[in-house]
Chains A and B, each alone.
Chain A
Amino acid sequence: MSVLDAFAKVCADVRPGGDTDRVDGLVPRVVAAPASLDEASAVMRTAAEHGLAVVPSGAGTKLDHGRPVERCEVLVTSRNLDRIIKHSPGDLTLHVEAGLTFEALHAAEADGWGQHLALAPPMDGTIGGAIATDFAGPGRLLHGSARDLLIGITVVRADGTVTRSGGKVVKNVAGYDLGKLYTGSLGTLGLIVDATFRMHPAARVVRVAATVKDPGRAVQAVLHSQVVPRALEIDRPAGSDETTVVVEAETETPDETSARLRDLLGGAPVTTPDWWNRLPEGEVLAEIRSLPARLPEVMDAAKGLPLRGSAGAGRLYTAPDDLEALREALKPTGARVVLMRAGRSVREAVDVWGPMPALPLMRRVKDQFDPDHRLSPGRFAEGV
């Protein structure tokens, strides 16, 4: 029996990989799209039996994040795992399959749910992808990222074992919180099949934007105010000295809150810019992680580069030509620079992650979950 037949026996939607399926230039032998937990488990088990390297994928929008994968024999897509399993409005919870796209989720939410998942990453893509890459939108300032909203998760391990952690209630400390472990794991620990999240009521929101001279001061003023910002974003276009600050807050009294925010920002009000929750343009995308109060120094060190993102949370996106030079320039600020997205040659050549003191622990956890290193091999750090 051929490898393809072996997969076709356990999963209805299986085909040979082709040119358009390339991951980092590698053509997978098999593309499998399981439509159930059973199929997902069987696909992973089959891959294990044949010793094949598996790359889990959602909508495929972030497959160029991290280092290039070294092997990709089976591309497992969550395309057919796209259902909303259960929305429990009274419990403020949502159970969905990993392949559900944000587009589909937002459409459902808009249909009178009166609640939303406070996770709106700047790229399209799937729930599973947002977990695996730990991507979050501007709301991360108040609500955090996937790790803060996840309350339960189902993952298929490298050998096909189905495993759950957490549950469907908001408050739960039974056992290890593995949802957090899988957050940011880039497909190296298992295949995420479904997830349960805490929801938030859809509140009235005001957004105030202003072009300011001293973004450091504006950001501090808003952070320490009584407005309780949900998001605090800045944008400085490439080569520009002009910075726009946008604050978003939930409020029952929009007019009063807007007035207060305009006072705090102390700049010229502008309408919400079109860059809101979008990544800066550029071949290379990097994230700067710094202390919020170091913003002025960070902006100085990254002079000339575009900067955009959550200044309140200390997470800014930029598009550097030279990653190492940026790291060097930012060194005195204590900021980290992580490469988010770039062409294969760049990702092969540079240190994508920067210093990782916990890497030895991560390697040991990886060895437990995927002893043969068949899951997205090479994608994360050396040895993971």
Chain B
Amino acid sequence: MADTLRALAERCIRVLGPESVITDPVRLRTYDCDGLTSHRASPGLVVLPETAEQIAAIVRACIEAGVPYVARGSGTGLSGGALPRTDGVLIVTARMRRILDIDVANQRAVVEPGVINLDVTRAARPHGYYFAPDPSSQQVCSVGGNVAENSGGAHCLKYGFTAHHILASEIVTPDGEVVELSRDDPGFDLLGVFVGSEGTLGITTKVTVRLTRLPQTVQTLLAAFDTIEQGGEAVSAIIAAGVVPAAIEMMDALSIKAAEAAVACGYPEGAGAVLVVELDGPEATVAHQFAEVGRLCREAGAFEIRVAADDTERALIWKGRKSAFAAMGRISPAYIVQDGVIPRTALGEVLGRIDALSRESGVRVANVFHAGDGNLHPLVLFDDAVPGAQERAEKVSGAILDLCIEQGGSITGEHGVGVDKARYMLRMFSDDDLDTMQMVRCGFDPAGLCNPGKVFPTPRLCGEVPGVRKGPHPLVAEGKADLF
């Protein structure tokens, strides 16, 4: 361990106590990656603080030592946003797991960043409420991580992303101050920028989340089609009819096959595509819209429609979809999870071109996606025992992102940029666009120590701001310095 880190570790022990500072190389390796396991780096030091003040003290110590730091919640992120630095400190919020308040009257809860997403819902459910953002990892991912990544989920078509459900956040700024950002603040919406900044603008230490009323009723159907085009037509027809389902998910033949092999979800045999449509809300409205969705699916060519009669049947319908990623293990030794977005109306064309890419390259691609908002999750399959297979798969995966960009879409709908996609940012944004984003970063983190190397392909040197300083220098004003 370098001298700087050793000195920093001692300082951290003084702040946190020895049991909350990890320096043992074997234990450090536990933290060497997040959900993106293709990138690994053993952190220089891991700390497990329990309060905002402790995090602020650690951040200040890092600044003084010139050491970079990275925050980590549950480590489920899929873009390497919590990838540690070998020369830095990993600040893990796993011990900040208290739900501080469930305020039903004001439809909100206050939680610490390490609280598990689903635990917020568990705590709110007895009161008839839940926390709407539901990433697939919701049983293990942390609310702090959701804030950093602006996490989505299957139900964000209707309910929006994490950003829509965060009312305030106490943060430790990259200069080690504890500040609360709130939606009620006048002026620039700094809270809105902070959410989704992938841990580059500070560390959230307390989150006020919006609680959403549990819907009166939930209706789920599964529609099976011969072709993916028919499924796409059904989605278009539903949107055109003015229905905003809570979720519309689609799977193609290959992902159905994998899910069947893994969890025996019993989807209709021979389906080229299945659509899972869920509606929720007031009973009468849902009943009306549900009938319409069924009719539109049949008109688009659905050969079988199953309606979940109860929660057990609903869980069965979702089982295939929710296990789709992990199920790939049944049909392929390895795979890349891609996350791209296209305008929904380009779905048919893009899927056709992904298919062509797959045939040309001989690399199999299974498609699972949030069809309502055009968020594709192509799973690019390969055998890691075959030399060159991973490179070929990565090439196909990258080409899919190019397709998304070409259609005016995005390189990530919910997994984030992290280290994984920083190199693609210039395909989507100009230098000036990225420079402008980095101006925000320089405002928050002039030293560039807060999760460096993420999101942006190249760092911006913050330096001195040109222009005229307004008023006297702060040190002069305080009488600590004279100008002469």
**Chain B residues numbered 403-419 whose CB sits less than 8 Å from any CB in chain A:** 408-417
Q: With A91-B343, A358-B180 in contact, do A173 and B242 touch (Cβ < 8 Å)? A: no
Contact between A256 and B188, CB atoms less than 8 A apart: no
Indicate if B57 sits at the interface (CB-CB under 8 A).
no
CB-contact partner of A181 in B163, B193, B428, under 8 A: B193
Complex: how many Å from CA A262 to CA B23? 64
Indicate if B392 sits at the interface (CB-CB under 8 A).
no
CB-contact partner of B417 in A114, A175, A293, A371, under 8 A: A175
Q: With A167-B410, A358-B180 in contact, do A252 and B189 touch (Cβ < 8 Å)? A: no
Indicate if A93 sits at the interface (CB-CB under 8 A).
yes
Residues of B contacting A380 in the complex (Cβ-Cβ under 8 angstroms): 187
User: By the criterion of a CB under 8 Å from any partner CB, how many residues of chain B are at the interface?
Assistant: 92
Residues of B contacting A293 in the complex (Cβ-Cβ under 8 angstroms): 103, 105-106
Q: With A171-B375, A228-B213 in contact, do A90 and B186 touch (Cβ < 8 Å)? A: no
Indicate if A178 sits at the interface (CB-CB under 8 A).
yes
Complex: how many Å from CA A292 to CA B215? 21
Name which of A90, A164, A168, A185 has the most chain B CB atoms within 10 A of its CB.
A90
Task: Annotate A77-118 by CB proximity to B: 1 below 8 A, 0 otherwise.
Answer: 000000000001111110000000000000000000011000
Q: How many Å from the CB of B454 to the closest CB on chain A?
A: 11
Residues of B contacting A383 in the complex (Cβ-Cβ under 8 angstroms): 470
CB-contact partner of B440 in A157, A167, A250, A368, under 8 A: A368
Residues of A contacting B364 in the complex (Cβ-Cβ under 8 angstroms): none
Question: What is the number of contacts between chain A and chain B, taking CB atoms within 8 Å?
Answer: 253
Indicate if B181 sits at the interface (CB-CB under 8 A).
yes
Residues of A contacting B289 in the complex (Cβ-Cβ under 8 angstroms): 252
Q: With A90-B345, A189-B188, A357-B180 in contact, do A201 and B243 touch (Cβ < 8 Å)? A: yes
Complex: how many Å from CA A354 to CA B182? 14
Indicate if A207 sits at the interface (CB-CB under 8 A).
no
Contact between B106 and A368, CB atoms less than 8 A apart: no
Contact between B193 and A173, CB atoms less than 8 A apart: no
Q: With A147-B192, A292-B107, A371-B467 in contact, do A171 and B410 touch (Cβ < 8 Å)? A: yes
- Contacts A178-B193, A361-B443 given; 12 further ones with Cβ under 8 A? A91-B374, A162-B432, A169-B341, A171-B156, A171-B161, A171-B341, A173-B412, A174-B411, A175-B428, A226-B216, A251-B285, A291-B105
28 contacts across the A-B interface (CB closer than 8 A): A89-B240, A90-B345, A92-B239, A115-B242, A155-B436, A165-B433, A171-B341, A171-B373, A172-B341, A172-B409, A172-B410, A173-B410, A173-B414, A173-B416, A173-B417, A174-B411, A175-B425, A176-B197, A184-B189, A223-B107, A228-B213, A228-B282, A250-B285, A253-B288, A292-B105, A361-B444, A367-B443, A372-B468
Residues of B bordering A, CB below 8 Å = 103-107, 128, 149-150, 152, 156-157, 160-161, 163-164, 173, 177, 179-181, 184-193, 195-197, 213, 215-216, 236, 239-240, 242-244, 281-285, 288-289, 341-345, 370, 373-375, 408-417, 421, 425, 428-430, 432-437, 439-444, 446, 455, 465-468, 470
Residues of A bordering B, CB below 8 Å = 88-93, 114-115, 134, 144, 147-148, 155, 157, 161-165, 167-186, 189, 200-203, 220, 223-224, 226-228, 250-253, 256-257, 289, 291-293, 314, 336, 338, 353-354, 356-362, 364-369, 371-373, 380-381, 383-384
